[in-house]
Amino acid sequence: MTSGLCYLIRLSTKDNPQDCKNCLECSRENGCLRCPEKLFLFLQRQGMTHHGSCLHSCPAGHFGMRGKDMNRCMKCKAPECERCFSKDFCTKCKGGFQLFKGKCFSSCPEGTFPHLTDCIEGCLFSPFGFWGEWSPCQHNGLSCGARWGHQTRTWVLTLKGPEELSSLCRPSEESRRCRMKKRCPKDKRKGGTRAERKRAQTHLKHPSNRTVTEPPPASHSHGEIEHT
């Protein structure tokens, strides 16, 4: 069996040297049947049959899939995809299409902008700028009294242009977690000092005992003070 197969390979190679180039196994009707370890088997439809070739890299519209027995060229799922990493993830689109997150679009999705062959998020002119200073580290509006807070910074665009360009460049902002001072000065504590908090609690329990800081109104016949 093995000798007959070898004879078939030699015969096919002699009659069709181009069809059986780089093949481990080859037939006169179908071309390559098996390829060396580092090459990919590419099957191309010819009428009702497939013709095999052993290639170093797969052609446009296909990606290489390695297997235990043999490596094969598989077709990209999207017809507008020229190159793909896997069946559903494009890395290059055909002319007239833009690439965004592994998909090909005839027009870029909302919130993205065309740039060369891709759709990009954010501002097209973002390389012309710099990050501003980080804001103070705060938690719920306070700069102390907690272990962790957050701070933000904004991307400052240095490229000057028409108003329609600035509309494409919405403010870009990022945030991060930051360490805070656990203890606050008394005047910065939420709710004021301990004495102030105690007075507030006393007022809630006994409203009639609140302190009047404005001049008292005119006395009535019974000598009472009216609180408005």
**Which of the four pLDDT bands, split at 50, 70 and 90, describes residue 28?**
confident
**Residue-number span of the structural domain to which 61 is assigned:** 2-75
pLDDT at residue 31, rounded to an integer:
86
pLDDT at residue 2, rounded to an integer:
36
Q: Are residues 9 and 66 in the same domain?
A: yes
Question: For 76-80, what is the mean pLDDT?
Answer: 89
Euclidean distance between CA atoms 119 and 109, whole angstroms:
8
Report whether 111 contacts 118 (CB < 8 A): no
- Tell me, yes or no, whether 210 lies in a domain: no
What is the pLDDT of the chain when averaged over all its residues? Answer: 72
> 69-92: buried (b, 16+ CB within 10 Å) or exposed (e) per residue?
ebbbbbebebebbbbbeeeeebeb
- Tell me, yes or no, whether 53 lies in a domain: yes
- Tell me, yes or no, whether 42 lies in a domain: yes
Q: What is the CATH number of the domain that holds 164?
A: 2.20.100
The token pair at 41 is: 């088997």
Taking only the tens place, the pLDDT of each residue in 139-158 is 888 888 888 999 999 877 77
Taking only the tens place, the pLDDT of each residue in 133-144 is 999 999 888 888
- Tell me, yes or no, whether 144 lies in a domain: yes
pLDDT at residue 122, rounded to an integer:
64
**Which of the four pLDDT bands, split at 50, 70 and 90, describes residue 29?**
confident
- Tell me, yes or no, whether 98 lies in a domain: no
Q: Comparing 213 with 66, which gets the higher pLDDT?
A: 66
Distance between first and last Cα of the chain: 111
pLDDT at residue 130, rounded to an integer:
81
- Tell me, yes or no, whether 46 lies in a domain: yes
Q: Comparing 188 with 219, which gets the higher pLDDT?
A: 188
Taking only the tens place, the pLDDT of each residue in 160-177 is 655 545 555 656 788 999
The token pair at 180 is: 């805070």
Where is the domain boundary, 75, 91, 106? 75
- Which among 175, 102, 186, 89 has a CA at the least distance from the CA of 132? 175
Percent of the chain with pLDDT over 90: 16
Q: Comparing 32 with 45, which gets the higher pLDDT?
A: 32
- Tell me, yes or no, whether 97 lies in a domain: no
Instruction: Quote the Cα angle for 157-163-166, to 5°.
Output: 30
Phi/psi region, residue 53 (left: phi>0; alpha: psi -120 to 50; beta: rest), is beta
Q: What is the CATH number of the domain that holds 54?
A: 2.10.220.10
How many structural domains is the chain composed of?
A: 2
pLDDT at residue 224, rounded to an integer:
36
- Tell me, yes or no, whether 117 lies in a domain: no
Taking only the tens place, the pLDDT of each residue in 86-109 is 888 999 999 999 999 999 999 988
Positive/negative CA dihedral, 199, 204, 209, 213: positive
Instruction: Quote the Cα angle for 174-176-179, to 5°.
Output: 150
Beta bridge partners of 181: 144
pLDDT at residue 168, rounded to an integer:
56
pLDDT at residue 193, rounded to an integer:
47
Question: For 168-188, what is the mean pLDDT?
Answer: 75
